[in-house]
Homo-oligomer: A and B are copies of this chain.
Amino acid sequence: MNLKLIKLFFVFACIFTFACAEQQQQIQVKNQSADFLNGKWIDLSYDFSSDTIYWVTAKPFERETVAEGKTDKGYYYSAYNFSAAEHGGTHIDAPIHFAEGRKTVDEIPLEQLIAPAVKIDISQKASGNRDYQVSVEDLTNWESNNGQIPDGSIVLLQTGHGKFWGDKKNYLGTDRTGQEAVAELHFPGLAPEAAEWLVKNRKFKAIGIDTASIDDGQSNTFGSHVALMSENIPAFENVANLDKLPVKGANIIALPMKIKGGSGAPLRIVAFIP
């Protein structure tokens, strides 16, 4: 054996090992601090104002001025009070909304509100039919193309209806309010059979949609709400900007106002795309 060559071999082996460790360390540092910086954040939330769309029978968002202007001490000061129903604008339905004894909004663990997303785009099918209900077939077709919905996902349904936000007549199907407007509600939702199929066959954390409700506008038994919420699955409603998300690869962080005992709450939902 040539001693010189053996030495040379060890020198190279050491260099490789060192380079490898160095590279790993750099990646780990990046992994720890820069995760939240190296990527794009997308706001999936509409803002709250007197124009924000609420359910036709719900108390809309109101704001009153407490102070606004220069104080006698010389500094500027503004402050407001606000009031609203829990269910309006971009919001969360907590399981207790439609299922007795299930979780209130403050009881939903953070881990259930923060997860990788899958987006199921059925906007082509729903574009000509504002009563469209996402079917089991829509879900299985999506899986044929994209693989099974991964365990621990947040499922987002893009009906394309979000483009009508701000235009009550087109978004809800009516611009009237009160009990008499309920029959005029027309917007897409998730079919109850598809909600049942999801809770039976897939392990997902939460579901979201770009319409006013996870059940379609014409529903009066709210079968998808009941199926989901009986299994402690919350729903995000009036989710904005779903057209800006990829089919896979976005991470969702959905943080509701922490209302103790709440059946729902205003939701600030954002997506991070690494």
Main secondary structure of the interface of A (DSSP, over half): mixed
Which B residues lie within 8 Å of A222 (CB)?
Answer: 75
Is A148 in the interface zone, CB < 8 Å from B? no
Contact partner of A258 (CB less than 8 A), chosen from B83, B152, B268, is B268
**Bound-complex Cα distance A47 to B260 (A):** 6
A114-135: CB near B (< 8 Å → 1, else 0) gives 1110000000000000000000
Bound Cα distance A31, B26 (Å) = 12
Q: Quick one: closest B residue to A48, CB to CB?
A: B259
Write out, one digit per residue, whether chain A residues 7-22 have a CB within 8 A of any chain B CB (1) or not (0): 0110011001101100
Residues from chain B with a CB closer than 8 A to the CB of A114 are: 36, 41
* Nearest Cβ on chain B to A108's Cβ, whole angstroms: 11
Q: Among the listed stretches A84-92, A159-167, A181-189, which one makes contact with chain B, having 4 or more residues with CB under 8 Å of it?
A: A84-92
Nearest B residue (CB) for A33: B116
Question: CB within 8 A of A82: which of B86, B90, B225?
Answer: B86
Chain B contacts for A58, CB-based, 8 A: 66, 79
* B residues near A82, Cβ cutoff 8 Å: 83-84, 86, 259, 262
Each complex incorporates copies of this chain amounting to 2
Nearest residue (CB) in B for A240 is: B258
Q: Which listed residue (B99, B260, B263) contacts A49, Cβ 8 A? A: B260
- Closest residue of chain B to A32 (Cβ to Cβ) is B274
- In the assembled complex, the CB of A127 is this many whole angstroms from the nearest CB of chain B, namely 28
Question: Can you list 9 A-B contacts (CB < 8 A)?
Answer: A1-B5, A16-B20, A36-B251, A41-B110, A47-B106, A47-B260, A76-B99, A82-B83, A268-B268
The chain B residue with its CB closest to the CB of A273 is B32
A264 within 8 A of B: yes
Contacts known (A5-B6, A110-B43, A257-B48); A81 close to B76, Cβ less than 8 A: no
Kindly name the residue among A59, A80, A152 whose own CB sees the greatest number of chain B CB atoms within 10 A.
A80
Question: B43, B85, B260: which contacts A81 (Cβ < 8 A)?
Answer: B85
Q: Is A145 an interface residue (CB 8 A)?
A: no
A171 contacts which chain B residues (CB < 8 A)? none
A78 touches B263 (CB 8 A): yes
